[in-house]
């Protein structure tokens, strides 16, 4: 178990290993993964397998963290809690859920993950191990007061140049399209990329081979905290392998209530054994920064302020 704690105890992040994953998905009991200690709080991380198929394998894993606050400890308000499931390397986030805590007596964060998507997204290592990361952070809200005199006596209002839009790309690799389609049996199941960072936000790609006679791609923005501003991006998809396709550039504004975008495709099928069975999905993304509107700032000189006073003195 690895933990990172800041000097002022404002954040802790623990990587909790889940050993014997193959046994977990056959168990009908709650697995206590481990505890996370933060700022006088004790957080218990658990996994509950559910919805077993005819082979006795759980179709759904419910990952949760429970936080109980002792009345004699400081308020839990303002504590940010997140759960992540990492890839097989234990380095990159694939599944993620978080929330800003408002209650100060009890808190419970839950993440539902389908087993087939978890395995298809390469979250289980060759040593039959799964890694869950739990992060708790104490956030402070800083309120800045405007300096009225500084604005009034500023000789010239200088506008900062517009920020340059940030861009980048990420590729989701499917080693075998036919094996992926066989593993993802339910309509709408898909494979997820690891999270990647562009424009100060985290993004991910989801590819679904079949959904009511279609295939689709999804670009998602990692769950945003309260008060985080919407973000407009321009993006495109480029597919190579079992199918070759390049989309047009699309624009979408991501916010807390609209944090993903679905791109519809004709259902992809492998029609010949000689056909390439791999698939590369590349997403190119550019963050579109809003243009700043110039603000008219009153300009006051010392002469205009002192003129009435001098006139009264010499009148």
Does the residue 145 lie in any domain?
Answer: no
Does the residue 280 lie in any domain?
Answer: yes
Note the pLDDT of residue 263.
95
The residue out of 138, 155, 176 marking a domain boundary is: 138
Does the residue 148 lie in any domain?
Answer: no
Q: Tell me the residue range of the domain where 82 lies.
A: 2-138
Say if residue 132 is in the same domain as residue 14. yes
Note the pLDDT of residue 133.
96
Say if residue 195 is in the same domain as residue 276. yes
Note the pLDDT of residue 313.
57
Residues in contact with 190: Cβ distance below 8 Å, sequence separation at least 6, in sequence order: 117, 120, 184, 206, 207, 208, 209, 218
Does the residue 209 lie in any domain?
Answer: yes
Does the residue 55 lie in any domain?
Answer: yes
Q: Domain count of the chain?
A: 2
Say if residue 40 is in the same domain as residue 130. yes
The residue out of 98, 123, 138 marking a domain boundary is: 138
Say if residue 125 is in the same domain as residue 12. yes
Say if residue 195 is in the same domain as residue 277. yes
pTM for the full predicted model: 0.78
Per-residue pLDDT tens listing for the chain (315 residues): 555 544 445 888 999 999 999 999 999 999 999 999 887 778 899 999 999 999 999 999 999 998 766 543 555 666 788 899 999 999 999 999 887 544 444 578 899 999 999 999 999 999 999 999 999 887 665 444 555 444 444 444 444 544 544 889 999 999 999 999 999 988 889 999 999 999 888 999 999 998 888 899 999 998 766 667 889 999 999 999 998 999 999 999 998 888 899 999 887 877 677 678 899 999 999 998 776 545 555 555 545 545 555 565 555
How far is the first Cα of the chain from the last one, in angstroms, to the nearest whole number? Answer: 81
- Quote the CA–CA distance of 195 and 215 in Å, as a whole number: 21
CATH of the domain at 76: 2.60.210.10
Does the residue 235 lie in any domain?
Answer: yes
Say if residue 277 is in the same domain as residue 178. yes
Buried/exposed 264-299: b ≥16 CB within 10 Å, e otherwise = ebeebebeeeeeebebebbbebbbeeeeeeeeeeee
Say if residue 180 is in the same domain as residue 276. yes
Say if residue 89 is in the same domain as residue 33. yes
Note the pLDDT of residue 157.
43
Say if residue 56 is in the same domain as residue 105. yes
């Amino acid at each position: 178990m690895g933990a990172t704690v800041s000097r002022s105890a404002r954040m802790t992040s623990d990587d909790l290993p889940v050993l014997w994953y193959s046994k977990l998905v056959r168990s009908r009991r709650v697995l206590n993964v481990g505890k996370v200690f933060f700022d006088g709080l004790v957080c218990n991380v658990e996994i509950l397998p559910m919805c077993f198929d005819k082979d006795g394998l759980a179709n759904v894993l419910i990952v949760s963290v429970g936080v109980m606050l002792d009345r004699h400890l400081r308020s839990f308000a303002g504590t940010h809690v997140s759960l992540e499931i990492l890839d097989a390397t234990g380095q990159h986030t694939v599944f993620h859920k978080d929330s800003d805590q408002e209650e100060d007596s009890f808190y419970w964060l839950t993440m539902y993950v389908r087993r087939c998507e978890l395995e298809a997204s390469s979250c289980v290592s060759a040593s039959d191990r799964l890694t869950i990361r739990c992060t708790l952070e104490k956030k402070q809200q800083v309120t800045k007061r405007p300096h009225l005199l500084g604005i009034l006596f500023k000789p010239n209002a200088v506008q900062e140049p517009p920020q340059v839009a940030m861009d980048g790309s990420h590729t989701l690799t499917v080693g075998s399209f036919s094996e992926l389609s066989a593993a993802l049996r339910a309509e709408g199941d898909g494979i997820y990329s690891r999270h990647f960072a562009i424009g100060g936000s985290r993004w991910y790609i989801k590819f679904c081979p079949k959904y009511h006679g279609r295939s689709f791609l999804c670009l998602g923005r990692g769950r945003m905290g309260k008060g985080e501003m919407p973000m407009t991006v321009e993006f495109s998809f480029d597919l190579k392998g079992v199918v070759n396709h390049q989309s047009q550039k699309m624009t979408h504004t991501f916010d807390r209530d609209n944090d993903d975008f679905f791109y519809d495709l004709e259902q992809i099928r492998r029609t010949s054994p000689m056909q390439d069975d791999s698939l590369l999905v590349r997403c190119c993304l550019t963050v579109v920064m809003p243009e700043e509107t110039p603000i008219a700032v009153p300009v006051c000189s010392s002469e205009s302020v002192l003129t009435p006073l001098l006139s009264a003195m010499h009148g």
